Chains A and B, each alone.
Chain A
Amino acid sequence: MRVAFASGKGGTGKTFLSTHLARRLATAWEDVLYVDADVEEPNGHVFLAPEISDVVSFAVQVPKRTRDECDGCDVCEQTCAYDAIVVGRGRFTVFPELCHGCGACLLVCPKHVLRDSDRRIGEVRRGMSDRLAFASGVLDVGEARATPLIRRVVEEANRHVHAVIDGPPGTSCGAVAAVSNADLVVLVTEPTAFGLHDLRVAVAMCRKLGLEPCVVLNRSDLGAAPVRDYCTEQHLDVVAEVPFSREIAVDCAAGRFSDANAPALERALDELEARVAHLVRHKEAS
């Protein structure tokens, strides 16, 4: 069972809600994993304070010339869809930050002098936070392409029965990688003009992927954008509304869990857990 959190807009409460839900599920269910797939600024560990047991370096593949038999025919340069290769007289240059690691150059090289080589772009951290398993992708500073690492850290879900995936903001390849293959996508939004704008884009992304998301309306009493009208019009399942609360804001700012004194949050988590339980029963039945 996989639940993925996305939002379009940043700062709506993805990490806050996904860490709370993951911890909640882990108290009742066996083998639950929280995945921090927001690899450019992963911060779920601030709430979960996991004990990290291993760290695995993650590399993408870039071509490297292995022998000197390159005759500068430039077939690799012509083939590269990302303009990552320049071939001159006896010289071969790859711009690693442009390379997507597709391997086409290796296939087309008539002299077979190109080979894949590892280029580290980040790491995956694994550990435990009480009963909850924890995995986080951390992109190295200065790296531009997050998607391969997001795909890699989302694969951690294959090793567990249940996973809660905390995705990156936006709707580009990284967000797509975080929600693809999820059984349930939760879009966290807020009733601001920006929240509504980005919610529309996030809903479009999900539907393009054949996924029907549900929505949590966070800080539901702040802002005036007609998010509820939009959800009704689009027949979106609004799982819960969490009004603004100073107590929650204080806990959140301190990186503390907040369920002790926030009944609206409790209800939202109850509802989300019920959705998840329903899907699990449905999956088991089929």
Chain B
Amino acid sequence: MSIIAITIQSGNDLDAALDQRFGRAPHFLVVETDDAHVIESFKNDAAEAAHAAGPAAARLIAKHRVQAVVSGRYGPKATEALLTLGIRTFEAGERTSVREIVDAFRGNSLHEVRYP
């Protein structure tokens, strides 16, 4: 069983649309991928931060005990913080809907960000 966070613009169900940014996405949707059900949706308090939104967002999702995250793009500090926190980091690629992303995650077809 995998619990993942997905960066979204708004909403609280699988119809939500992806937000491309990790640190400054307005919301996170937390999904249990085995049966594709939504656990929770929460506001990203780091989105308005003056600086270093990436590490702050990484800390926030770590508190929600997710094992992986999916977003469009990650800044260098965000990827380092996610690595430190042991959260696997995936890119959504061309996919823009949460449903597609969950399917792709289950099919192991998302690109994982690899660290040097």
Chain A nearest CB, measured from B77 CB (Å): 6
Chain B nearest CB, measured from A222 CB (Å): 37
Number of A-B contacts (CB under 8 A): 36
Q: Which residues of B contact A87 (CB under 8 A)?
A: 84
Chain B nearest CB, measured from A89 CB (Å): 5
Chain A contacts with B in 53-102, Cβ cutoff 8 A? 77, 83-84, 86-89, 91-93, 95, 98
Q: Count of A residues near B, CB < 8 Å?
A: 12
Chain B contacts with A in 61-87, Cβ cutoff 8 A? 62, 77, 80-81, 83-86
Q: What's the Cα separation between A93 and B115 when bound, in Å?
A: 14
Beta-carbon contact of A83 and B52 below 8 Å? yes
Q: Which residues of B contact A95 (CB under 8 A)?
A: 52, 55, 77, 80
Q: Which residues of B contact A93 (CB under 8 A)?
A: 80-81, 83-84
Q: Which residues of A contact B80 (CB under 8 A)?
A: 86, 93, 95
Q: Which residues of B contact A86 (CB under 8 A)?
A: 55, 58-59, 80-81, 84-85
Contact partner of A98 (CB less than 8 A), chosen from B51, B58, B62, is B51
Chain A nearest CB, measured from B87 CB (Å): 8
- Asked if B5 lies at the interface with its beta carbon under 8 angstroms from chain A, I say no
Q: What's the Cα separation between A87 and B49 when bound, in Å?
A: 20
Q: Beyond the given A91-B86, A95-B55, please list 16 additional residue pairs across the A-B interface where CB-CB is below 8 A.
A: A83-B49, A83-B52, A84-B52, A86-B58, A86-B59, A87-B84, A88-B62, A89-B86, A91-B84, A91-B85, A93-B80, A93-B81, A93-B84, A98-B51, A98-B52, A98-B55
Chain A nearest CB, measured from B57 CB (Å): 11
Report, nearest first, the 8 A-B pairs whose CB atoms are least far apart.
A88-B85, A88-B84, A93-B84, A91-B84, A86-B81, A86-B84, A88-B86, A83-B52
Beta-carbon contact of A83 and B56 below 8 Å? yes
Beta-carbon contact of B84 and A83 below 8 Å? no
Q: Count of B residues near A, CB < 8 Å?
A: 15
Q: What's the Cα separation between A83 and B60 when bound, in Å?
A: 12
Beta-carbon contact of A83 and B55 below 8 Å? yes
Closest to A92 in B: B84
Contact with A along B37-58 (1 / 0, CB 8 A): 0000000000001011001101
Q: What's the Cα separation between A202 and B101 when bound, in Å?
A: 53
Interchain residue pairs with CB less than 8 A apart (19): A83-B52, A83-B55, A83-B56, A84-B52, A86-B55, A86-B59, A86-B80, A87-B84, A88-B62, A88-B84, A88-B85, A91-B85, A91-B86, A93-B81, A93-B83, A93-B84, A95-B55, A98-B51, A98-B55
Beta-carbon contact of B52 and A91 below 8 Å? no
Q: Which residues of B contact A98 (CB under 8 A)?
A: 51-52, 55
Q: Which residues of B contact A91 (CB under 8 A)?
A: 83-86
Q: What's the Cα separation between A89 and B84 when bound, in Å?
A: 7
Chain B nearest CB, measured from A77 CB (Å): 8
Chain A nearest CB, measured from B37 CB (Å): 27
Q: What's the Cα separation between A95 and B76 when bound, in Å?
A: 10
Q: What's the Cα separation between A98 and B49 when bound, in Å?
A: 13
Chain A nearest CB, measured from B70 CB (Å): 19
Q: What's the Cα separation between A86 and B56 when bound, in Å?
A: 9
Q: Which residues of A contact B58 (CB under 8 A)?
A: 86
Q: Which residues of A contact B86 (CB under 8 A)?
A: 88-89, 91
- Which has the most chain B C-beta neighbours within 10 Å: A83, A92, A98? A83
Q: What's the Cα separation between A92 and B58 when bound, in Å?
A: 14
Chain B nearest CB, measured from A71 CB (Å): 15
Q: Which residues of A contact B84 (CB under 8 A)?
A: 86-88, 91-93
Q: Which residues of B contact A83 (CB under 8 A)?
A: 49, 52, 55-56
